[in-house]
Amino acid sequence: MESVTERLLIVEDDPGLTRQLRWSLDQYDPVFAENRESAVDQLRRHEPQVVLLDLGLPPEADGIEEGMRALADILRLAPATKIIVVTGNGDEQSAIKAIAAGAYDFYQKPAEIEVLELIIQRAFHIWQLERQNRELRTDSDRPLEGLIAVSESMRRVVRQIEKVAPTSATTLLQGDTGSGKEVLARALHRLSPRAGRPFVAINCAAIPEHLLESELFGYEKGAFTGAQKQTLGKVELAEGGTLFLDEIGDMAANLQAKLLRFLQERVIERVGGRHEIPVDARVIGATHRDLQTLISQGDFREDLYYRIAEITIRIPPLREREGDAIAIAKSLFEKANQEHGRSLRGFAPEALSAIERHDWPGNVRELEHRVNRAVILADGKLLDASDLGLAELVGETEDVKLNLRQVRDEAERGALEKSLGLADGNISKAARLLGVSRPAIYDLMRKHRIELSN
């Protein structure tokens, strides 16, 4: 996705504060407006992503009503815009009213520029994540339905899926529980030449061992007590299509041998049967367990591993996918809001902050559970951190990063490391990615003590 120039609109009628903000926030090349009418004009002309709006706009006789009308106008014309409202000291009620009306965040005068800039930076960050999310959702040609990949780590997974899908290679998806293995397995199927044929899934850990064999391979009439008719197994039902074996690491040893024979010979025998049955099905396995460790412990066949893992794709946990949690939460919110007939407006700023900080041990499945529950039970129009069960994360570690120089250095180092990684250590390419000169890259590397490995 192409980068977007950050544009900031400041709606402020105090000339002294305007001069201060113009000098302090010059990295955004801000545009200014003095009243509601000029704010609307500047909004249409410059299409800013973030607006800093003083609620105390003239005429003063109207109190904050003119500022609230400006807020409503901006949200009506550009609903995705992040509006940070500015109120007088002690006027918390006005800020709460503005947040309820759709403002992103608020700040009280007098201005502490370092804190205000952090709020603005976060607003741009959230706007960018939401933009990426909208583009991913509205791209009608996107075949990876159900998958939101904002982070670079997940985009690498998507690129792997797109390369592997058209082949017939047996594929192993390895990732934590709840990380989206079945979503990716279905994507592999939809992008393959087998897309028009069945996708058959079975969870090897959810079915008792004595039943799993007949579930997989089927059985003949009379094969055991209760087998009153011939029944096809999951493998046969996947003929021409894709067989997805979830939690394959939990499969019993005797079934591993039978599955290995199928992968080698592409034939099966039903339980109680005497005839080989050829089956053409692509196999995708998935597990949250370390199969190499299981092999060393004697719990998984090494020869089966090499058959099932012709291609191995590791799915990173949600905590390692920077930006994905908020983007996925937004998508889940919209779905739940519609399904449950609610008319909620979205997430409060502290809720988004809590989502970013949470480790998500249950991955996407946990996120879906928390958002769904919050939408059902929320009392207000905005979901807050307590609705998500994350109230303990509000304000956590926020004061650690109030030093502006520290924040800038961390962002600068992160951008440099990312560009060098994408460029495979090529200084010229990294310089082009960052839009700076080669000497500037060397200066930054010396500043942050980054050395390229040989």
Write down the pLDDT at residue 441. 85
Element (H, E) at 171: strand 171-175
Measured CA to CA, the distance from residue 49 to residue 34 in angstroms comes to 18
Strands 242-246 and 282-287: what pairing?
parallel
d(CA 26, CA 73): 26
pLDDT in tens, 4-13: 678 999 999 8
The answer, as to whether pTM is greater than 0.75, is: no
CATH number of 324-392: 1.10.8.60
Least confident of 84-88, 102-106, 396-400, 411-415: 396-400
Q: Which residue would you say has higher pLDDT here, 111 or 359?
A: 359
CATH number attached to the domain at 8-138: 3.40.50.2300
By C-alpha distance, which of 139, 140, 158, 142 is closest to 150?
158
- Give the span between the Cα atoms of 108 and 102, in whole angstroms: 17
Q: Is 9 helix (H, G, I), strand (E, B) or coil?
A: strand
Q: Where are the domains of the chain?
A: 8-138, 152-316, 324-392, 403-447
What three-state secondary structure class fits 278?
Answer: strand
For residues 213 and 220, the answer to whether their CB atoms sit within 8 Å is no
Residue 3: is its pLDDT beyond 80? no
For the CA atoms of 400, 403, 404, 407, the dihedral, rounded to the nearest 10 degrees, stands at: -40
Nearest C-alpha neighbor of 318 from the set 374, 289, 361:
361
Under the banding of pLDDT at 50, 70 and 90, the label for residue 301 is: very high
Band (89; pLDDT cuts 50, 70, 90): low
pLDDT for the residue numbered 146: 63
What is residue 258's predicted lDDT score, i.e. its pLDDT? 94
Distance CA 16, CA 28 (A): 19
**Each residue's pLDDT tens digit, 271-298:** 999 899 999 999 999 999 999 999 999 9
Residue 366 has pLDDT above 90, yes or no: yes
Output the 3-class SS for 174-209.
EECCCCCHHHHHHHHHHCCCCCCCCEEEEECCCCCH
Mean pLDDT throughout 235-257? Answer: 95
Helix axes 427-434, 438-447, angle to 10 degrees: 90
Average pLDDT over residues 215-237: 91
The answer to whether the beta carbons of residues 105 and 84 sit under 8 Å apart is yes
Q: What percent of the chain has pLDDT over 90?
A: 47
pLDDT of 1 strictly over 60: no
Chain mean pLDDT for the chain: 86
Structure token pair of residue 315: 């799915």
Q: What is the mean pLDDT of residues 414-438?
A: 81
Residue 443: its pLDDT value, please? 81
Higher pLDDT, 158 or 137: 158
How big is the CA angle at 9 (ends 8 and 14), to the nearest 5 degrees? 125
| Percent with pLDDT over 70 in the chain | 91
Strand partners, 201: 244
Topology agreement, domain 152-316 and domain 324-392: no
Query: Which of 235, 243, 241, 240 is closest to 269 using CA atoms?
Result: 235
* Phi-psi map region of 180: left, alpha, beta (phi>0 left; psi -120 to 50 alpha): left
pLDDT the model gives residue 397: 44
**Out of 3.40.50.300, 1.20.120.140, 3.30.465.10, 3.40.190.10, which CATH number does the structure's domain 152-316 have?**
3.40.50.300
Q: Partners of 312 in the beta sheet? A: 172
pLDDT at 337: 92
End-to-end CA distance of the chain: 31
Residue 392's SS3 state is: helix
Q: According to DSSP H, which parts of 323-387 are helical?
A: 324-339, 349-357, 363-377
**Stretch among 53-57, 79-83, 287-291, 403-407 having the lowest mean pLDDT:** 403-407
**Element at 284 (helix H, strand E):** strand 282-287
